[in-house]
Amino acid sequence: FPQAVIFDLDGVLTDTAEFHYLAWKQLGAELGIEVDKALNEQLKGVSRLQSLERILAAAPVPPVLTAEEMEHLAAKKNAHYTALIASVTPNDILPGIAALLQELRAAGLKLAVGSASRNAPFVLERLGLDSAFDYVVDAGRIQRGKPDPETFTNAADHLKVPYESCIGVEDAAAGVEAIKRAGMFAVGIGSAQTLRQADYLVTATELLSAEHILAAYSRWIDKA
C-alpha cells in the first residue's frame, strides 16, 4: 500500500500554470519574442531562470545577457506573475482536487507538495491549502530542479517514506520525469503525447479519484 502522495502545485492543485504562461508571454512581447503553447510546454515545471534561458534561446537572434540582466528580466516576469496570483481564492482549487485530498487523507496517506515555485507558499495560502499538507518542498529547499528527482526525494525523505511507496502527481513532462527518476509511481494530468512516462494518466483533474489511483498503484507495485 502506498504511504504518501506528493503533488505538484502549478497546473495540478490550481491553474497557475496558465498564469505562468501569461506572464512569460507578456515578458516575451516586451522582448519581441513569441512565447507560444509549444514553447510553454518546455517551460512547465522548470525554474524561473531556466525558463528565461529557454525563452531567450527561442529568439530569432538569441541575446547575450549578463547575470544581472537575466535577474532583472526574471524579476519582471515575476512581477507580472505576482499581479496575476494576487486574486487567487479557494474557488481556484481545480475540480476534484479537494475531494481527492480528503479521500487520500481518509485512506491514511501522508500528503506533500513538491513545487519548483518560490511563490508556492503564497499560492497555497491564497488557496486556503496551507495546512492541508504535511510538508511543502518549494524551490528554496532543493539544489536541483525538475527533471532532477530531488524535489520528490526531498519530500519522501522528510516524510520518512520509501520512494516506491510514494505517488507523485504532475502536469509537466519535466515533473513526470522527476517522479520516475525518483523511483515513484507517476500520475500524469494532461496528454499522453506530452506525459509519455506517466504510469497512470488522466486528461483533467476532475477525473482523478483515490480509488482509481490506488488500484493503478497496486498493479504497478505487483509488477515490480
Tell me the catalytic residues: 8, 10
**Contact flags string 120-149 toward ligand BG6, x per CB under 6 A:** -------------------x----------
**CB of 159: closest distance to ligand BG6 in angstroms?**
20
Write the DSSP assignment of 90-151 as a string of letters. Answer: GGGBPTTHHHHHHHHHHTT-EEEEE---TTHHHHHHHHT-TTS-SEEE-GGG-SS-TTSTHH
171 binds Mg ion (CB under 5 A): yes
Does the annotation list 46 as a binding residue? yes
Does the annotation list 146 as a binding residue? yes
CB 129 within 8 A of CB 91: no
Angle between helices 16-31 and 67-85 (to 10 degrees): 130
Q: Which of 13, 10, 3, 47 is nearest to 157 (CA)?
A: 3
Cell of residue 38, nine digits: 509549444
**CB of 20: closest distance to Mg ion in angstroms?**
9
177 binds Mg ion (CB under 5 A): no
Residue 47 touches which of Mg ion, ligand BG6, none (CB < 5 to 8 A by kind)?
Answer: ligand BG6
The residues that bridge with 113 in the sheet, in sequence order, are 7, 136
Site for ligand BG6 in 29-48 (CB under 6 A): 43-48
51 binds ligand BG6 (CB under 6 A): yes
CA-to-CA distance for 170 and 178, rounded, in angstroms?
10
78 binds ligand BG6 (CB under 6 A): yes
The smaller minimum CB distance to ligand BG6, of residues 46 and 208, is found at 46
> How far is CA 86 from each of CA 73, 122, 155, 160, 165, rounded to the nearest angstrom?
20, 9, 27, 34, 36
CA-to-CA distance for 70 and 59, rounded, in angstroms?
15
Let me know how many helices (H) and strands (E) the chain has, helices first.
9, 6
Size of the site for ligand BG6 (CB under 6 A): 19
**CB of 70: closest distance to ligand BG6 in angstroms?**
13
CB 45 within 8 A of CB 175: yes
Does the annotation list 126 as a binding residue? no
The smaller minimum CB distance to ligand BG6, of residues 127 and 214, is found at 127
Please report, as ranges, the residues that interact with Mg ion according to CB under 5 A: 8, 10-11, 171-172
Residue set of the binding site: 8-10, 24, 43-48, 51, 77, 115-119, 146, 170-171
Please report, as ranges, the residues that interact with ligand BG6 according to CB under 6 A: 9-10, 17, 20, 43-48, 51, 78, 115-119, 139, 172
